[in-house]
Amino acid sequence: MTLQEAPTIELTGVSRRLPSGGRMLTFVDRVDLTVGRGESLAVLGPSGSGKSTLLALMAGLDRPDEGEVRIDGEEIQRLSEDRLARLRRDKIGFVFQSFQLLSNLTARENVLLPLELVRSRDAGGRADELLAAVGLGERGHHYPSQLSGGEQQRVALARAFGPRPPILLADEPTGNLDSATGARVLDLLSELRRAEGTTLVVVTHDPAVAARADRRVHLLDGRVERIESGAAAAAAEGG
Amino acid sequence: MSPRLYARSLWREMRGARGKMLFFTLCLAVGVAAVVSVAGLSAALDAGIRGEARQLLAADLAVSGRRPLPADLDDRLAALGADARVDVVEMVTVVAAPPAADGTPGPSLLVEVKAVGEAVGEASGGYPFYGELNLEPPRRLGELLDETTVVAAPALLTRLGLGVGDRLRVGGEDFTVAGRVLAEPDDVGVGFTLGPRLFLSRAGLERAALIQRGSRVEYRALVRMPEDTPAAVLADGVEELRGALTPGWRVESWREAQPALRQGVARVDRFLALVALLSLLAGGIGVAQTVRAWLAGRLDAIAVLKCIGWTPREVTTLFVGQTALLGLAGSLVGIAAGIAVQLAIPALFPDLVPRRLIDPFQPLAMLRGLVLGLGVALLFSLPPLATVRRVPPARVLRRDAQPLPLARWAYAATGLALVGGLVAMAALQARSLPLGLGFAAGVAVATLLLAAMARVLVAGVGRLPALAVMTPRRGRRGGRGRVWWRHGLSALARPGAGTLAAVVALGLGTLVVLAMALVQRHLTDELAADLPDDAPSAFLADVQPDQWEEVQRVLAEGGAEDVRSVPVVMARVAALDGETADDLAEERGVGGPRSDDPDADDGTRRWALTREQRLTYLDELPRGNEIVAGALWSDPEVAEVSVEEEFARELGVGLGSTIDFDVQGVPLRVVVTSLRRVDWGTFGINFFLVVEPGVLEAAPQQRLATVRLPRGGEQAMQDALTARFPNVVMIQIREILEKIVGILERISLAIRLLGGFTVLAGLAILAGAVAAAAAQRGREVALLKTLGFTRFQVAAAFAVEYAAVGLVAGAIGAVGGGLLAWLVVSGEMEIGWRWYPAAFAAALFGMALLATAAGLAASWRALARRPVEVLRRV
């Protein structure tokens, strides 16, 4: 695959230690990993294996104690908080397990927020288009508290894809949803991703989620245990 | 970020938290309302007191001396901005009834003559500028007086057997009595008066040719200043005049004219400054706590904003902008409320301030409220807003993500801005930089102390043995009790518990409220003590020693009580420590001050030296006298004198100084062996100079007495005394005293009102601050209930936690508040310190109770709801 020859996310010897219960624990331990442009990668592992920490490092939400993190070739661990914020604004979209919609904003305003931030020319049109795409065209004026969990996550998807980020990071996107709702959200995610050619890294417990990815990284105690790729993903994507 | 997006985000952020916005606005509004209404009321009160106190001098300021007033006085007064002047000449002379038909001379009497000149200046009604000259017939003095008429006190007419229309011989010329003077506003010579009053015109005075070489004449210029002259300008003017005039002139303003009032007014000024400062601080504490609680609820949102690409700077700007907007709203509401309070006060307390004196729409006061309100909002929000920068975006993934480090310069800048801003605002409010500095320093020290104690508390709680069992053990009473007790205590040491902030806020709040309450109590008690039940109703002067026994009998027959008398010996200072008074006077007139004391200006010190002194001799000091240095009658070797401390400063003497007096021709040398402080508010007879017994007994002397007469019996007593002792002068002072008492009572009411308002506002703000923080804890309540805590146990655990915070804060706040009150009361206001144990106990336990009640009240909704309702909301 030519795309994988030009990696968009590149981790080299990355470690992260954090204080826990009064001592330092290694959450990510010398991880080397590359994600190619347009690729989808699932990160799997038991609780505490370092999945979320790894995701935070890829997004510049956290800084490694050792090693390098590159986004589009740019070393990000030394960027200031302001530069990191701009990097996220321009390149990264997020989807979270707990949705993380802003409760004081309507669904449409939540989708508008990142669009306005990048000064998108037709922010309103794009927001409406995305809300329609996730099947919430009529619910834009509702506040998050007036929406169900699945609806909230669909709004979060619309928000994440709004500014057309080249990278989407997802943390247990179906973790708080029942399987039917989760499947609907995953379908939407795949659709939008395919339409935009977005690189996806998804942290999950859910085999159904993992099955849709091009590759699956298994973490254990902060280390890469094994990497799978191929058929399952192809089958899922194809189906 | 574009301004449009910024404005839109600001609007969305505001929309989301109406309740909290409202509380923030209210907190600030209460503080600003206090500032604005205190400013307005104090101005009105000042005007009110000024109006009445000025009556006692009949002018804003007076210049007097023993020579004709200097020609350049008009220029100097014009430079001060005076707008009217009237000259008065006072002297003592003998007048007589016309001879009888058979040629025998009519009875004669020593009188005090007052000749009033034409007033100069715009729109002046002439003498008196303030107060009322009560004449009979009820006409203006100028209309009754001409070159040939006089107006006389009833006592004068009674004693000479004359009435209105009769003739009276003054200085060999005949005058017609045109009327009687019943009351004079500025007749507060509560001391030594030689005879009843006689008013003449200046032309009449010249016709009578009373002023001869060597006559003892006092020339006095009464001066009126424009209505809106601030007290400070007046005080500066007095100082300037004193400095500019040649020796021998005495300058006094209405503020200094009456000691009891003077003290009262000065104390009220300080009290009002304190109220304004503390109300501001109380508002600030409320603001800080609200912003803290509100941001605590916005941490997730902040993390999301940062996650989707808002830079920390943009997020901070958003919240600073929001705080500023709320500050603006709070200030405007506060200003409106302040105006409403000012409008309501005359209706609720009609005696306090007349409505015409209240001018609630003062643009400057409103602007000050706005600036202070905005300043307080931004300043006190700084520390909580700094946390916005520290919120880690990784919080979107892990709630326990570590906060971002804040650069050292950012901490330093925040601290500097806080201290600098506090100094600036305190200085603006108190209108004094040193006071602002002192206040800011005090707040800083109290904050550090509170923070240190909070740390000690947290560390102490952290050392408690770890909780063995967190879930309640059902069915075992002992175990059940321990769970909530220990859970409540350990909650203090939990990360993110906010114990530090709560202790600091509540502690400062306690400090403010207690200091306020204590100062107010001291002040009102002191003012009440200033109105003794046994205040005299009349003074008797000129009683000859051999008449005293008979006078006492007459007094007793008339029902007089509390007769107190002292001998009075007139004397002049001949020399101090061997240097003659003339030399000293010259030295003080030309050279610098003899001592380094900056308090005693040259004019006063010259006057102290050259005027005639009244000495007395006493075995024991009267009430209200306190020895501050040396000991009374302690040296058997020398003749001793006890000197009032301020007078000693003016005179330039200290312990061990020798004073040579000229007692009507006889030299007398005395040594200063004690200095006294005198409480002039007792209205008793007090002397600057008290000589030990056994020295002055043989000197020519008179007696001065104070008596309390039955109400309404004054005139009868005056007639009885006059009939038997024509030389004895009785001065009725009840009316003057009652006037003063009335003013003091009004001051006292105002203080109770303002103090009470500030205390209540402070308590409301504190309760709100606790509630704002407690309302954040719905999730914790739900979790505890899920774990099997009963509602009682959850409530009890919270109660333990809040009570502990309240107790620690109350204890330190009480110490701080007591200290502040003590500084203000005994240092600034010079009132004797008293302990009010009840107030301290109330501060300590009241704060615990208030914190507990407010905390529980705010948790009530969460307690009542089913846990699942709270937990479901992710």
The ranges assigned to domains in chain A are 2-238
Q: Do B308 and A94 touch (CB under 8 A)?
A: yes
Assigned token pair, B673: 């062996």
The pLDDT value recorded for residue B73 is 85
The pLDDT value recorded for residue A239 is 35
Residues of B in contact with A58 (CB under 8 A): none
Residues of B in contact with A61 (CB under 8 A): 307, 392-394, 396-397
d(CA B688, CA A213): 101
Pairing, β B167-170 against β B538-543:
unpaired
d(CA B494, CA B487): 10
d(CA B374, CA B239): 38
The number of residues making up chain A comes to 239
Confidence at B597, pLDDT banded by 50, 70, 90: very low
B606 CB burial (10 A radius; 0-12, 13-18, 19+): buried
Phi/psi for A26 (5° steps) reads -90, 110
Q: Evaluate if residue B187 carries a pLDDT over 60.
A: no
d(CA B393, CA B400): 11
d(CA A84, CA B142): 88
Q: Do B2 and A119 touch (CB under 8 A)?
A: yes
Question: A31-70 b/e with 16+ CB inside 10 Å = b?
Answer: bebbbbbbbbbbbbbeeebbbbbbbbbbbbbbbbeebebb
State ipTM: 0.85
Confidence at A39, pLDDT banded by 50, 70, 90: very high
Q: Evaluate if residue A174 carries a pLDDT over 80.
A: yes
Q: Evaluate if residue B480 carries a pLDDT over 60.
A: no
Q: How many helices (H) and strands (E) does chain B have?
A: 26, 22
Helices within B254-397 (DSSP H only): 254-257, 259-296, 299-307, 312-348, 363-390
Weakest mean pLDDT among B57-66, B172-181, B518-527: B518-527
Assigned token pair, B19: 């309740």
Confidence at B427, pLDDT banded by 50, 70, 90: confident
Query: CB-based contact (8 Å) between A103 and chain B?
Result: yes
B637 CB burial (10 A radius; 0-12, 13-18, 19+): exposed
- Number of neighbouring beta carbons within 10 Å of residue B708: 18
Mean pLDDT across the stretch B725-740?
69
Confidence at B642, pLDDT banded by 50, 70, 90: very high
Confidence at A12, pLDDT banded by 50, 70, 90: very high
Q: Do A100 and B393 touch (CB under 8 A)?
A: no
Across the interface, of A86, A116, A119, the residue whose CB is closest to B311 is A86
Q: Do B307 and A100 touch (CB under 8 A)?
A: yes
Across B37-51, B100-114, B405-419, B757-771, the highest mean pLDDT is recorded for B405-419
Q: Evaluate if residue B791 carries a pLDDT over 90.
A: no
Second-level CATH architecture of A2-238: 3-Layer(aba) Sandwich (3.40)
Q: Which residue of A has its CA nearest to B300?
A: A100
Residues of A in contact with B306 (CB under 8 A): 85
Residues of A in contact with B311 (CB under 8 A): 81-82, 85-86
Give B311→chain A minimum CA distance, Å: 5
Q: Evaluate if residue B487 carries a pLDDT over 90.
A: no
Residues of A in contact with B303 (CB under 8 A): 100
Percentage of residues of chain B with pLDDT beyond 90? 4
On the question of a cis peptide bond just before residue B137, with omega within 30 degrees of 0, the verdict is: yes
The pLDDT value recorded for residue B482 is 63
Assigned token pair, B469: 């069992």
Query: CB-based contact (8 Å) between B466 and chain A?
Result: no
Confidence at B194, pLDDT banded by 50, 70, 90: low
| Of B868, B869, B398, residue with least CA distance to A96 | B398
Q: Do A100 and B396 touch (CB under 8 A)?
A: yes
Assigned token pair, B825: 């009361």
Question: B224-245 b/e with 16+ CB inside 10 Å = b?
Answer: bbeeebebeebeebbeebbebb
Weakest mean pLDDT among B456-460, B587-591, B723-727, B822-826: B587-591
Chosen from A17, A28, A99, A100 to mutate, greatest number of chain B CBs within 10 A: A100
The pLDDT value recorded for residue B604 is 56
Q: Which residue of A has its CA nearest to B302?
A: A102
| Of A119, A201, A195, residue with least CA distance to A158 | A195
| Of B813, B816, B818, residue with least CA distance to B845 | B813
Contact, B204 vs B175, CB < 8 A? yes
Confidence at B598, pLDDT banded by 50, 70, 90: very low
Mean pLDDT across the stretch B339-343?
85
Weakest mean pLDDT among B35-39, B131-135, B385-389: B35-39
SS3 B710: coil
d(CA A57, CA B636): 93
Give B298→chain A minimum CA distance, Å: 9
The pLDDT value recorded for residue A100 is 86
Mean pLDDT of the residues in chain B: 78
The pLDDT value recorded for residue A9 is 93
Mean pLDDT of the residues in chain A: 87
Q: Cα dist. B413→A91, B289, B406, B815 in Å?
A: 34, 21, 11, 30
Q: Evaluate if residue A32 carries a pLDDT over 90.
A: yes
Q: Evaluate if residue B502 carries a pLDDT over 50.
A: yes
The pLDDT value recorded for residue B351 is 64
Q: Which residue of B has its CA nearest to A61?
A: B394
Q: Evaluate if residue B653 carries a pLDDT over 80.
A: yes
pLDDT in tens, B585-595: 777 654 333 44
The pLDDT value recorded for residue A151 is 93
H or E stretch including B11?
helix B3-15
Give A213→chain B minimum CA distance, Å: 21
Give B319→chain A minimum CA distance, Å: 14
Q: Which residues are CB-neighbours of B588 under 8 A, at least 6 positions away?
A: B247, B594, B602, B605, B606, B609
The pLDDT value recorded for residue B781 is 78
Assigned token pair, B142: 């100028």
Question: Which amino acid is present at B266?
Answer: A
Q: Evaluate if residue B474 carries a pLDDT over 60.
A: no
Weakest mean pLDDT among A183-192, B16-25, B359-368, B375-384: B16-25
The pLDDT value recorded for residue A66 is 93
DSSP B29-66: HHHHHHHHHHHHHHHHHHHHHHHHHHHTTTSSEEEEES
The pLDDT value recorded for residue B476 is 45
Q: Do A61 and B396 touch (CB under 8 A)?
A: yes
| Chain A (206-235) residues lying within 8 Å, Cβ to Cβ, of chain B | none
pLDDT in tens, B202-227: 889 888 887 776 567 888 888 888 87
Residues of A in contact with B398 (CB under 8 A): 52-53, 56
Weakest mean pLDDT among A164-168, A173-177, B15-19, B456-460: B15-19
Q: Evaluate if residue B467 carries a pLDDT over 60.
A: no
Q: Do A104 and B2 touch (CB under 8 A)?
A: no
Helix crossing, B791-822 with B499-529: angle to 10°?
Answer: 50
| Of B788, B816, B807, B820, residue with least CA distance to B851 | B807
Residues of B in contact with A56 (CB under 8 A): 394, 397-398, 401
Contact, A43 vs A55, CB < 8 A? yes
Q: Which residues are CB-neighbours of B271 under 8 A, at least 6 positions away?
A: B519, B520, B523, B751, B754, B755, B829
Chosen from A91, A92, A117, A164 to mutate, greatest number of chain B CBs within 10 A: A117
Q: Specify the pTM.
A: 0.64
